[in-house]
Each structure stands twice: as C-alpha cells, then as structure tokens.
Amino acid sequence: MASSRLKRVEESATMKAANTANKMKEDGIDVISFTLGEPDFDTPKHICDAAADAMYRGETHYAPGAGISELKKVIADKLCTENKLDAKASEIIVTPGAKQAIFEVMMSVLDDNDEAILFDPAWVSYDPAIKFAGANTTWVPTDTENGFKPVDIEEYINEKTKLIVVNSPGNPTGAVYDKQTLKNIADIAIDNDILVLSDEIYEKIIYDQEHVSIGSFEGMQDRTITVNGFSKAYAMTGWRLGYVHARSDIIKPMLKIQSHSVSSATSFVQYGGIAALEGPQEPVAEMVAKFKARRNVLVDGLNEIGIRCQKPGGAFYAFADVSEYGDGNIIAKKLLQDAHVAVTPGSAFGESGKNFIRISYATSIERIQEGLERIKAALV
C-alpha cells in the first residue's frame, strides 16, 4: 500500500546495489564494493571531541529550528569568504544532512506540475524529491563524451520551469563544470527567471581546480539556493549535518517544514560542525590527496584494460563507459556474479547513464587494484 505521491517514486537504486553486495558479504563471499557513497575515513578527532564536549556540558536539548546561532554565523562567514556569496546568518538553515535540505528546497519552491531541470545523469535523490513536491522532472541530456556538460538547456525550458539543479563536482560522474559552463547556466536562469539549486556537497573533494559557486555570478545571488553539508568533506555521513542558504523570502518558508518535521539538526552535532569549519583543514587535504591517488589508479587502470573512463575532476566516483561489453545493468550484474565486484549501474542516475557503471573509489588502493584485476578477468 502506498500513497499516490509515493507511487511516483522508485526505491533508491544505489541502496539496492549496496544491499545486494552486503547480503553476499554476509554469506561469506569476498565482495569488493565500489557502491559506497561515503568516505571510508573516520571523522577527524577534533570534530568528535567538540561534539562530545558539547554533549557532556549539557547541549542535549532541542536546538533552535534553523540551527544554533554560532554555527549559522560560522557558515555565513564561510559562504562569504570561500564561496563569494553575500550570506547572512539569518538566511541559513542548518539541517540534518544536505539531503533533508534538498527535500525542504523542493517542497518550498515547487508547486504541483511545476518543472525542475536535472542534468542527466543526476544523483538519485533529486528526482524523488521533485516528485514528492508534486512537480515533474525535466531531464536535460549531457555530453557524455565530453565532461558530462549539459547541452541545449534552453530547448527544455517552458513557462512551467521553476528550478535548475546544479551539482558540481557531481555525483555520479565526478564532473566539475568549468566557469564558462556555470556562467551559461547562470545566464539561462537569469534570462528565463528560474531559480538554481546548487548542491555543493563535493566542493572540497576537487582535484587541481578551484570550486566555483554559481551563486557568486552577477545577478545570481538572489536566485541561487546553495546547499552544502559536512558528510563528504569532513567524513561525517552518520552525523547528519548540512545547511542551506537562500534569500530570506525563500529560506523562511523552508523553516516551516523543518519545524513541523525534524524540529532541528541534533544539538551537540552542531558543535562538531563549528569545529569542522573553524578547526584545522589539513585532515580534509589529506583525504583529498588519498582520493586523488585512488582516482588515478582506478581511472588509469580502467583505461589500460580498455574500459573507457574520463578522469573525473572531483567527488569520489568514476563513471565508466562499458558499452563495448553490454549495457550498464547487464555489466553490473555480471561483475557482481562473476567477479564479486559491486558497482552501481549508470541507469540508476538517468537515461544518459545506461551505457555506464558508477565506481566509487572510497576504498583502499589495494582493493581498487584487486577490483581492477577481477574486472579485467570478467570482461576483457
């Protein structure tokens, strides 16, 4: 039994892939899992200490709905200095994870039958969040041969288009949009009076280039809703801590959802968030250096065995073209059955992904090398 709202939404395909692999592991099979969407590192100690101190000092009560003032202030400062946004603490809501922030954005800005644009392939939870809000997703194809940049966006815009979702560095492709690509999207948003949701959760996991926030372009400040969080940069997935920034008349209604559902992000967890942003950033740099080394081993290894894969500029996913061997679904199944290697079929992220598999390299170099050997034996 399900409501009509839920009937429009599929179960998460990434979770499904991970669950099958976990089940095989429980049965004693040595599965190499490349399905994980989370850093395999532990949260840096100074962040844990700050949250534990807060808990022991009694910060265990309800927090203000939009977040504790000190954290909102630190986030606003970060958005001003790092992301070149003109952000005020009053325009920020601290959420239990970026995912909740995205859900709140969709519920707040989309009306029934509005349209929201996703660049195909896109992270699995955007489309369900759009559908929960009663709106529809318009899938805009990307140039899968050349950096997964969106093409012909304007052809997909009509009077119902309310929102464009931008995710750079992106999941599932790891693509980082250059400044010009972001500027083109910004110009289209301005010309057509459309809001932009910029999901910048992978901003720190970026290699050899600078992250650019689309909200920093002229004319974009008022129409950009910036979402970010602590899960990926600070290895804090289980903490459930994220945030959203937007101009006051967009952010205020969002608080209604938070206050009538989760109430707030967990009180003492928010002190961990302050330590993450204010404390030493070396742990982030160390994690990124490790991700980069793993990316190089994986992507070079795939290309060496004849599986085409562009070098992603960020995040910790490689999106490999397996069309020479079959479609992504068939290959993901084959790899799991024959090689005990778990990957996510690209179709989980949209039609453009059907010839691809997503390989998460949030695992050790040794496991990556072993996985490559197994993939080679099974496919090539």
Which residue is nearest to ligand PLP, using beta carbons? 97
Alpha helices in the chain (DSSP H): 4-7, 13-26, 45-56, 69-81, 98-109, 126-132, 179-191, 248-260, 267-278, 282-304, 328-334, 365-379
**CA-based nearest residue to 65, from 87, 89, 95:** 95
Least gap, CB of 97 to ligand PLP (angstroms) = 3
**CA distance linking residue 303 with residue 312, whole number of Å:** 13
Least gap, CB of 45 to ligand PLP (angstroms) = 20
Q: Is 123 a residue that touches ligand PLP (CB under 6 A)?
A: yes
Nearer to ligand PLP, 207 or 239 (CB): 239
Give the angle 191-135-154 at the CA atoms, nearest 5°.
Answer: 25
Q: Is 171 a residue that touches ligand PLP (CB under 6 A)?
A: yes
**Window 260 to 299, contacts with ligand PLP (CB under 6 A):** none
Among 67, 229, 345, 371, binds ligand PLP (CB under 6 A): 229
**CA distance linking residue 31 with residue 270, whole number of Å:** 36
**Window 79 to 98, contacts with ligand PLP (CB under 6 A):** 97-98
Burial class (CB in 10 A: 0-12, 13-18, 19+), 187: middle
At 62 the three-state DSSP class reads coil
Among 19, 237, 296, 329, binds ligand PLP (CB under 6 A): 237
Least gap, CB of 188 to ligand PLP (angstroms) = 21
Least gap, CB of 269 to ligand PLP (angstroms) = 12
Nearer to ligand PLP, 47 or 201 (CB): 201
Least gap, CB of 238 to ligand PLP (angstroms) = 9
Residue with tokens 């100074």: 46
Give the binding range for ligand PLP (CB under 6 A) out of 26-34, 66-74, 229-237, 280-288: 229-237
Beta bridge partners of 360: 317
Residue with tokens 């000190």: 70
Q: Is 99 a residue that touches ligand PLP (CB under 6 A)?
A: yes
Give the angle 9-137-312 at the CA atoms, nearest 5°.
Answer: 95
What does the block give as tokens for 371?
Answer: 């996985």
Nearer to ligand PLP, 121 or 328 (CB): 121
Contact 227, 199 (CB under 8 A): yes
Longest dimension (CA), the chain: 59
Q: Is 201 a residue that touches ligand PLP (CB under 6 A)?
A: yes
Least gap, CB of 229 to ligand PLP (angstroms) = 3
Least gap, CB of 95 to ligand PLP (angstroms) = 8
Among 141, 174, 242, 346, binds ligand PLP (CB under 6 A): 242
Size of the site for ligand PLP (CB under 6 A): 13
Q: Is 167 a residue that touches ligand PLP (CB under 6 A)?
A: yes
**Window 34 to 73, contacts with ligand PLP (CB under 6 A):** 37
Least gap, CB of 296 to ligand PLP (angstroms) = 22
Nearer to ligand PLP, 97 or 353 (CB): 97
Which of 120-145 are b and which e, b meaning 16 or more Cβ less than 10 Å from the residue's Cβ? bbbbbbbbbbbbbbebbbbbbbbebe
Least gap, CB of 98 to ligand PLP (angstroms) = 3
Q: Is 199 a residue that touches ligand PLP (CB under 6 A)?
A: yes
Residue with tokens 């009663």: 134
**CA distance linking residue 329 with residue 13, whole number of Å:** 11
What does the block give as tokens for 158?
Answer: 């009509």
Contact 263, 240 (CB under 8 A): no
Nearer to ligand PLP, 226 or 231 (CB): 231
Count of Cβ atoms closer than 10 Å to residue 6 Cβ: 11
Least gap, CB of 138 to ligand PLP (angstroms) = 18
Terminal Cα-to-Cα distance of the chain (whole angstroms): 44
Positions in the binding site for ligand PLP (CB under 6 A)? 37, 97-99, 123, 167, 171, 199, 201, 229, 231, 237, 242
